[in-house]
Amino acid sequence: MSAELEERLLRYTAIDSQSDSGSDTTPSTDVQFDMLNLLVEELTAMGAADVTLTGYGTVLAGVPGTVPGPTIALLAHVDTTEQFAASGVKPRVLRNYDGGEIRFPDAPDLVLSPAHNAYLGTKAGDDIITASGTTLLGADDKAGVAIIMTVLRHLLETPDLSHPPLRIAFTPDEEIGRGVHPDLPGDLGADFGYTLDGGEIGRIDYDSFSADAAEITVTGVSVHPGKAKGKLVSAITLASRIMTTLPQGGMTPELTEGHEGFIHATEMSGNAAEMKISLILRDFEMDGLEEKGRIVRAVCDAVQATEPRARITCEIRKQYRNMRYALDSDMTPVTLARDAMAGLGIEARSEPLRGGTDGSRLTELGLPTPNLFTGMQEIHGPLEWISVQDMTAATQVCLAILDAAGSAD
């Protein structure tokens, strides 16, 4: 399977499929259709059942079960993040990695080193895939796509394997929080699922952030600067005041870890007449998330009070919720994954997931969907890398889960 996984990842990552939070289309970018349509073609060619590209930009397919059991879904997303250059990706393979520093052909000063990524230091002898240094790789989440496609191909070409019904979905726009359409759980028709969108080998993620987004708009009073005395109200000045008034110590991403939440400004744009500030609010508990929303609103109100001629609005919208809220009451998919890993000699680990996956939203919509490892590391930047052997292990875990689910009493 390693050769197939490698070939698929190299081919998929070379396809531009970056999403765009500024777009109001679904998918948010036309280039995502290059991946979606390709997957429809490949699934149809390999003989998958019920291959569909939905009106909301998700590819669905399945494999009928050979034995009774729960219908299990496997999901991955086709888009790559807009946070870093993702067009013109040139993936490359470092065979039998020697355990030392990795240099990049298109960025000679860029260095990937075990000194800064301890997990890399455990991968000597593995085959490592990176990009060329000027773009991200896109293993997030085309590694998940490659793993699921390999699982599906293996099941279809080995019809005597014992497994329950399998459903798969490849979603767009996960990176901008719009990957799960409300119709997706019903269209999948699964009892539970797994996203293949995780990091180091053995990870099972089911305790994720709860997330909201805040959009602050500051409208000032625009006047010619030569005649501005007593009249001009600069939106830039007020937006800067908001940023400096927001809590800094202990409530920003670079100062938090584990179960600690944060308030993070992701974008500021505009001019003296109007400024917009985009924020993300994250916490593992709803009380903490709601408190962060109150803090942002209170800061906006306080700055507004200093300048009544301006207008400051703050809109907070829901993004996703911690999947643990639902999975705490039924840990079946988590237990099944842990047992599958144990049978393969893989140590299962669950730590706070300082982010979210499509599984967060799916779980909230009634389809329990924890997240499994793929091996991806240093995502969303030029140092992104993945071990082919980790991808192989993830594929074996998926097959072991299906085998165990089909063998259960």
Between the CA of residue 336 and those of 344, 380, 404, what are the distances in Å?
13, 30, 8
Q: Is 380 annotated as a binding residue?
A: yes
Q: Is the pLDDT of residue 216 over 90?
A: yes
Average pLDDT for 155-174: 96
Model pLDDT, residue 355: 87
Domains of the chain, start order: 2-207+322-407 (3.40.630.10), 210-320 (3.30.70.360)
The contacts of residue 28 (CB under 8 Å, 6+ apart) are 19, 20, 21, 79, 172, 173, 176, 178
**Does the active-site annotation cover 183?**
no
Q: Is the pLDDT of residue 177 over 90?
A: no
Structure tokens at 356: 């979210």
- Order of strands, sheet of 385-387, starting from the edge strand that comes earlier in the sequence: 92-94, 128-130, 385-387
Sorting pLDDT into bands at 50, 70 and 90, what band is 406? confident
Which residue in 174, 212, 378, 384 is the catalytic one?
Answer: 174
Structure tokens at 88: 């013109």
Which residue in 79, 191, 358, 390 is the catalytic one?
Answer: 79
Average pLDDT for 57-66: 97
**Does the active-site annotation cover 403?**
no
Average pLDDT for 160-169: 96
pTM of the model: 0.90
Mean pLDDT of the chain: 96
Average pLDDT for 153-175: 96
Percent of the chain at pLDDT exceeding 90? 95
Q: Is 77 annotated as a binding residue?
A: yes
Q: Is 175 annotated as a binding residue?
A: yes
pLDDT 10s digits, 131-157: 999 999 999 999 999 999 999 999 999
The amino acid present at 164, given as its one-letter code, is: P
Q: Is 140 annotated as a binding residue?
A: yes
Sorting pLDDT into bands at 50, 70 and 90, what band is 408? low
